[in-house]
A = this chain, B = another copy of it.
Amino acid sequence: MKKKSFPLANVYGLLETGPVVLISTSHKGIPNIMTQSWHTMIEFEPPLVGCVISGNNHSFAALKATKECVINIPTVELAKQVVAAGNCSGRKVDKFARTGLTPVPASLVQAPLVAECYANLECRVVDTRLVNSCNFFILEVVRAWIDPAVKDPKTLHHRGKGKFMIAGETLKLPSRMK
């Protein structure tokens, strides 16, 4: 794999733009992926990410049981696979086989990295206080990987019902914001 380790302190910059992500889990030896857009940074370092995974999703039980997952960030070349993974359930389908995406072993968690995604964040669940009421998990990113060749990733941003905004040009303004 051509990916490199990515500093945990910089992870927020990958997620706070709001990209669609693929969350991978592994439960009883069976890997699965789901398409997800409802996430937010919660802390810079260690990077904490809040994310909603509905109880209807097969990944909910895997995450609850294993407390591990990987957040994989796809770019526009993977749009069809992103939609395909969002339109079937891991309860019935091997989503890696269905989408043709490639699971690769992670370093610190059992859940696999999705090889085709330009960034992969290995996560552990650290807070479940809002899981019962809101399906809201807080994850700590424990290891991050990036394809260093991707500078301005053409991430996907869901407007609802299969309509995606593709990341456009970048604007740099003088700022003291982190």
Q: Decide: A162 and B173 in contact? CB cutoff 8 A.
A: yes
Q: How far is the CB of A42 from chain B (nearest CB, A)?
A: 5
- Contact pick for A163, options B38, B87, B172, CB 8 Å: B172
B173 touches A79 (CB 8 A): yes
CA distance A130 to B126 in the complex (A): 13
Query: Which of A11-19, A23-31, A58-66, A107-115 lines the interface with chain B?
Result: A11-19
Return the chain B residue nearest A52 by Cβ. B42
**How far, in angstroms, from A166 to B176 measured CA to CA in the complex?**
19
Report yes or no: B170 in contact with A166, Cβ–Cβ below 8 A.
yes
CB distance from A172 to the nearest CB of B (A): 5
Protomer copies: 2
Contact of A50 among B80, B87, B136 (CB under 8 A): B136
Min CB gap A5→B, angstroms: 18
B13 touches A16 (CB 8 A): no
Q: Which residues of A contact B (CB under 8 A)?
A: 10, 12-13, 16-19, 35, 37-43, 48, 50-52, 76, 79-80, 83, 86-87, 127, 129-130, 133-134, 136, 138, 152, 154-178
10 other A-B residue contacts (CB within 8 Å) besides A18-B37, A18-B157: A17-B157, A37-B41, A40-B50, A42-B52, A48-B134, A83-B173, A152-B165, A162-B174, A164-B170, A164-B171
